[in-house]
Structure 1
Amino acid sequence: MSKIAVIYWSGTGNTEAMADLVANAATAAGASVDKFTASEFNVSSAGDYTGFALGCPAMGAEQLEESEFEPMYQDLRGSLSGKPVGLFGSYGWGDGEWIRTWAEDAEAAGARLVVEPVMANGSPDGDAEAACAALGTALANA
C-alpha cells in the first residue's frame, strides 16, 4: 500500500483546501495518507513515505513561501529522488511561474512528478478540484 505525505503551507486556506482534496482522493484510492503543514512535518520521517504531495501558494515575486515551506522543502529535497511526487498551489496573480520553477527543481532532485502541477486561481473551482483529485489518485497508484 502507498503511504503518502501531503505537506502544505496555506495563508488564506485555498492551498489547504487543495491539500484536503488531494488527501481525500489518495485515501479513496487506497493509500494511507498523513497530512501536515510545512511546520508540522519532520523531514527525518521522509523515509516512512512512498510518495509526497507538496502544496504551496505563489508568494511575492512568484516564489515559494520563504519562512516555513521553502526551508522544509530544501530539507526534504534530497529525499525525493525516485519518489512519486505531486505539486499543487493557489495563486492570485502571475501566470504560474512559481510552480513551473518548482517542478523543474523537484525533477532535478530526482522526483518523479505523477501529473502536471495543479494550480488554482484563488479558491479551487471545479477544474482545480478535479485536478487535485486526479493528483491524489495518481499518487496512490504510483
Structure 2
Amino acid sequence: MKKVRVIYWSGTGNTEKMAQAVASGAKTADTEVTLLSVAEATAKHVEEADYLALGCPSMGNEELEESEMEPFVNSIASLVKNKPLVLFGSYGWGDGQWMNDWTQRMKDQGATLVDDSLIINETPDDEGLKKCRTLGMQLVK
C-alpha cells in the first residue's frame, strides 16, 4: 500500500478545504492517505510517505506562514529528495510569487514535482475543488 501524506497550514479554512480535496483525489484502492495539519505533522510522516502534498496560503508579503509551516518546510529539506510532491495553497492578493518561490525551493531540495503547483484565490469553489482532487490524482498516478 502506497502512503500519501497531505500536510497543510490554514488560517481561514480555505487551504484546509483544498487539502481535503487533494486527499480525496489521492485515494485509490492501493493508497493510504493521511491528512494532517502542519501542527500534527512530523518529519517521520514525511520520511515514511511515498507521495507528499504540502499546502499553505500566501501570507504577509507573499511568503509561507512563518510560525509553523516555514519551520516545518525547513525541517524536511533533506527528506524530500526524489520524493513525488505537489504544492497547493490559497491567496487573497498578489500574483502567486510565494508559490513560485516555494516551488523552486522544493525543486532545489531535490523533490520531484509531479504537476504544476495549484493556487486558488480566496475560497475554493466547485471548480477549484475539482482542480484539487485532480491534483491529488496526479500525485499518485
What TM-score, normalized by structure 2, do the two folds share? 0.95
- Aligned mates of 1:30, 1:119 — CA distance in 2: 28
Distance verdict in 2 for CA 1:134–1:29, change over 3 Å: farther
- Aligned mates of 2:109, 2:134 — CA distance in 1: 23
* 1:50-65 aligned within 5 A: 50-65=50-65
CA contact (8 A) 1:114 1:135 kept: no
**2:87 is matched with which residue?**
87
The SS at the match of 2:27 is helix
Shift of 1:130: 2.3
**2:34 is matched with which residue?**
34
Distance verdict in 2 for CA 1:139–1:19, change over 3 Å: same
Is the deviation greater in 17-26 or in 121-130? 121-130
Shift of 1:45: 3.5
CA contact (8 A) 2:78 2:109 kept: yes
- How large is the RMSD of aligned CA atoms in angstroms? 1.2
The gaps in structure 2 that reach 5 residues or longer are: none
Give the percent of matched residue pairs that are identical in Structure 1 and Structure 2.
43
Cα deviation, 1:50-104, whole Å, max 9, x if unaligned, reads: 0110000000000000000000111012111001000000000000000000000
Shift of 1:44: 2.8
**Number of matched pairs:** 141
Shift of 1:124: 1.0
Shift of 1:140: 1.8
The gaps in structure 1 that reach 5 residues or longer are: none
- Aligned mates of 1:121, 1:29 — CA distance in 2: 32
CA contact (8 A) 2:115 2:138 kept: yes
Is the deviation greater in 40-49 or in 106-115? 40-49
